[in-house]
Amino acid sequence: MWQPPPAKVVDSNGSRPHVRPVGLLFILLHVYIAVRLLPPLEPWGQILGLVIVGTSLWLVPKGWWVQKASPRKVMARWVAMGFFSWLFVLTVVRDVALLFTDRWVAESALAILVATPVITAIGFLMARRVARVVDIRVPVEKLHAALEGFTIAQISDVHVGPTIRREFVERIVDRVNGLRADMVAITGDLVDGSVAHLSAHTAPLANLKSRHGTYVVTGNHEYYSGAQSWIDELERLGAHVLLNEHVVIDHDGAPITVAGVTDYSAHHFDESHRSDPALALRGAPGDSAKVLLAHQPRSAPSAAAAGYDLQLSGHTHGGQFWPWNLFVRFSQPFTAGLHKLGRMWIYISRGTGYWGPPMRFGVPSEITRIRLTRA
């Protein structure tokens, strides 16, 4: 996912930081909110509004020039960003509605000032709770009888980093282990940071348990964080990292091919990691069910052409929270859930963690249990 640049930077000589255009933009957006919401309110409402808008204006731009901060301060910065997002979006929605009616002007302004902190709090709690389990059945043509009910526990987009730490990962591992799946799939964007800073927080992944093991593919954030170091670390933890390759699992005498590709954008970081679903399947037995792990849904057309039965992806977070989920479709063919492309199924996880604002209002995180069935 895209990460915005800092609004301010501290000069190397320690001089006062300069406001960048994005910082000025935040200021203008807060002025817009104040101008649109405060005038129709009673004096006490205007005071409440000034406190809310002023606090947001103080916290949001300030967060961008903090280069080093504790996890608690980083969390506060991102909560402030989520708060501002709702405040701005609801103000825009109100203005659009007022184009068609002049009723409830003051009431709608007050409603936004009250609803924004409530929605932010609910979204925060939904993001920080352990992800729920979502059960999905996928009918596969000519599935071997022994593979009926084969289960894959998928986690994706955990984003272990400044605000997602060891305890959060431990709770995910405990819930996955409770599923007693046949295999575990981690479909990328596991981390946001280096092995040196985060290995203690990803260590619980070594405790993942399933009949046939844990299989991992890289996401774009692994390449931001030192992909090869993380590949080595995940292998050390007992996972199998699939880099445009496959394994054939023998499940009660029936073969199932599990392939994995590097991230769709990996070649921008390392040409040798160019994503290739066809290469990942080369040499696989023709009569086996074929499952592809691919971080981005954009791999689906190539995967369908290569002959896979099912692709498991993540990356989108399902949009993470409204209304940003509405924009995912402009960069990805699918946003979330189960879809079909030709004869291939594709399932896109909404993500097991979150990135940036700890916000999951309307788009809950998930641990997915995929169960293969005979078509």
Strands 18-19 and 132-140: unpaired
Q: What is the pTM of this model?
A: 0.89
State mean pLDDT over 271-298. 96
Q: Minimum mean pLDDT among 61-65, 217-221, 229-233: which range? A: 61-65
Residues sharing a CB contact under 8 Å with residue 93, sequence separation 6 or more, in sequence order: none
- Residue 145 is predicted with a pLDDT of 95
Residue that finishes a domain, picked among 88, 105, 128? 128
CATH number (domain holding residue 320)? 3.60.21.10
Residue 7 pLDDT class (50, 70, 90 cuts): very low
CA distance 329 to 340: 16
> What number is the average pLDDT over the span 288-300?
97
Residue tagged 């936004």 (tokens): 112
Rg (CA), the chain: 23
pLDDT score of 64? 53
Domain that holds residue 363: 132-374
Is the same domain home to 283 and 355?
yes
DSSP letter for each residue of 89-143? HHHHHHHHHHTT--SSHHHHHHHHHHHHHHHHHHHHHHHHSPPEEEEEEEEETT-
Contacts of 127 (CB under 8 A, 6+ apart): 354, 357, 358, 359, 360, 365
Same domain (yes/no): 145, 82? no
Q: From CA 60, how far away is CA 63, in angstroms rounded?
A: 5
Q: Are residues 14 and 103 in the same domain?
A: yes
Q: What is the pLDDT of residue 69?
A: 66
- Which 8-state DSSP code applies to residue 186? E
- Chain segment 109-125, per-residue pLDDT in tens: 999 999 999 999 999 99
Helices and strands, counts by H and E, the chain: 10, 14
139 pLDDT band, cuts 50/70/90, is very high
Instruction: Give the model's pLDDT for residue 61.
Output: 66
According to DSSP, the β-strands at 151-155 and 337-341 are unpaired
- Please compute the mean of the pLDDT values over residues 273-298 and round it to a whole number: 96
Mean pLDDT across 152-177: 97
Query: Which run of H or E residues covers position 164?
Result: none
Tokens in use for 245? Answer: 């390759």
Provide mean pLDDT across the span 11-25. 57
3-state secondary structure of 348: strand
**Is pLDDT above 90 for 305?**
yes
pLDDT of residue 181: 98
| 101 φ/ψ angles, rounded to the nearest 5 degrees | -155, 150
Q: Are residues 90 and 162 in the same domain?
A: no
Q: For residue 1, is it within any domain?
A: no
Pick 64 or 48 by higher pLDDT.
48
Question: Quick check: 215 and 240 in contact, CB under 8 A?
Answer: yes
User: Is 263 part of any domain?
Assistant: yes
pLDDT single digits (tens) 82-108: 999 999 999 999 999 999 998 999 999
In this prediction, residues 307-321 reach a mean pLDDT of: 93
Domain end among 96, 128, 160: 128
Residues in the chain: 375
Distance in angstroms (rounded) separating the CA atoms of residues 315 and 272: 22
Q: Is residue 2 part of a domain?
A: no
**For the CA atoms of 362, 365, 366, 367, what is the dihedral angle to 10 degrees?**
-170
Residues 37/114, Cβ–Cβ less than 8 Å: no
- Span of 129-143, 154-168, 325-339 with lowest mean pLDDT: 325-339
pLDDT surpassing 80 at residue 18: no
Do 121 and 144 reside in the same domain of the chain?
Answer: no
Average pLDDT, the chain: 91
Say if 286 falls within a structural domain: yes
Phi, psi of 140 (to 5 degrees): -115, 125
Whether 300 and 338 share a structural domain: yes
- In this prediction, residues 165-186 reach a mean pLDDT of 98
Whether 3 maps to a domain, the answer reads no
- Given 111, 128, 145, the domain boundary residue is 128
Count the domains in the chain. 2
Identity of residue 71: P
Where residue 74 falls among pLDDT bands split at 50, 70, 90?
confident
